[in-house]
A = this chain, B = another copy of it.
Amino acid sequence: MRRVSEPITSRQRFLDALRGRVQAAPPGWMMRQAGRYLPEYMSASAGRPFMERVRDPELSAELTLQPIRRFGMDAAVVFSDILVPPSAMGLDVRFVESKGPILNPPVRDAAAIARLEPFDPLVATGFLAETLRGVRAALGSSHALIGFCGAPFTTASYLIEGGSSKSYERTKAMLFGQPALFDELQRRLVDALLPYLAMQVGAGADALQIFDSWGGSLDAATYRRMVLPHLTRLVAGAKAEGVPVIVYANGGDHLLEVLLATGADAISLDWRTSPEEARRRTAGRVALQGNLDPTILFAGPEATRAAVGSLLAGFTGQPGYVFNVGSGLLPGTPVESVAAAFETLQALR
């Protein structure tokens, strides 16, 4: 039990929210808070290809900590990428300027699925364990540390498309045309992601977030039938590690009820869901995280303060609320708007 005189730490504030506690002063962080909009990110990582930054524990720990130092977010999210597991499974993963990630070879048939290698997360992705331990040591118990992975659908789509996609034609051709094959791919991914998440908890992560970045491209009935069983298994396994689990689907307003069915502790909301609708549709059964439209920050600090104020009002009384953006911070986001958002949040303390 916390003593009355002891001030609550950021970490405690964050974990309390994920466990469903109503808080007058909610915690907050931002998806992609460690990133290209920060001048210190650009100077620390200049000249290093993206996957190299991720694989360098000293650099990635530094990049993880930068936004905490500048803005005092309550949680740090480890600087890493959802394509680390595909890389550990034997695919060549590269980030090409203005094209995004390229994965080789693409995984489009049973033979390619069979070739995916299981991996020992402490060996193949030991750099991430080292990063997490470094960040944990730097943070002590003052701030929370979030580990993460991509959801089965999103990870599968990268493998099948061989990179990003606008419409996921190949992914959905497999999903709708060869559902057993798509099932098998998701099963193998979840088999690999479970020990990968366990490793992150072992290395110091206080909470885990599962990103279904492209899940919003599926209608709810298809998602429920084809994706939910795999995502539910992943969530259950992650929770069994003893930490709270957050699920997020970009463009996922129509998936809210399906995400609720995963059993996650919290749902991170896309900005297109209004706080009122989110609360009505989840009815206190889950903590909520979100969901400032990240483009509002481009309108400057004043517009940001007003938008954050109105967002926080919309979530007042929610049993378990974590302030966040509704989609990752964009390159070019004005730093002073991010500062204004956290000043508004922290003024409640």
Contact = CB atoms under 8 A, between A and B. Distances in A.
A254 to B, nearest CB: 5
A317 B273 CA distance: 30
B169 A330 contact: yes
Contacts of A220: 272, 274
Interface stretch (A39-47, A127-135, A146-154, A296-304): A296-304
Contact of A293 (B219, B293, B303): B219
A176 interface: yes
A172 B299 contact: yes
A24 B218 CA distance: 28
Contacts of A168: 295
Given A177-B303, A221-B274, A303-B177, A295 B216 contact: no
Interface residues of A, number: 38
Contacts of A177: 298-300, 303
Interface in A232-280: 251, 253-254, 271-274, 277
A170 interface: yes
A263 to B, nearest CB: 23
A216 B176 contact: no
A283 interface: no
Nearest to A166: B330
A331 to B, nearest CB: 9
A2 to B, nearest CB: 37
A170 B272 contact: no
A173 interface: yes
Contact of A219 (B169, B271, B330): B271
Given A167-B330, A177-B299, A251-B251, A172 B293 contact: yes
Interface string A151-171: 000000000000000011111
A295 B221 CA distance: 15
A12 to B, nearest CB: 31
A94 B239 CA distance: 52
A303 B178 CA distance: 10
A332 interface: yes
Contacts of A222: 293
B173 A295 contact: yes
Interface of A: 167-177, 216-222, 251, 253-254, 271-274, 277, 293-296, 298-300, 303, 307, 327, 330, 332
Given A176-B296, A177-B303, 19 more contacts: A167-B327, A167-B330, A168-B295, A169-B332, A172-B293, A172-B298, A176-B298, A176-B299, A176-B303, A176-B307, A177-B300, A218-B272, A219-B273, A219-B293, A222-B293, A251-B251, A253-B253, A254-B273, A254-B277
19 contacts: A167-B294, A168-B295, A169-B295, A169-B330, A171-B295, A172-B293, A172-B296, A173-B299, A174-B299, A175-B299, A176-B296, A176-B298, A176-B299, A218-B272, A219-B272, A219-B293, A222-B293, A253-B254, A254-B272
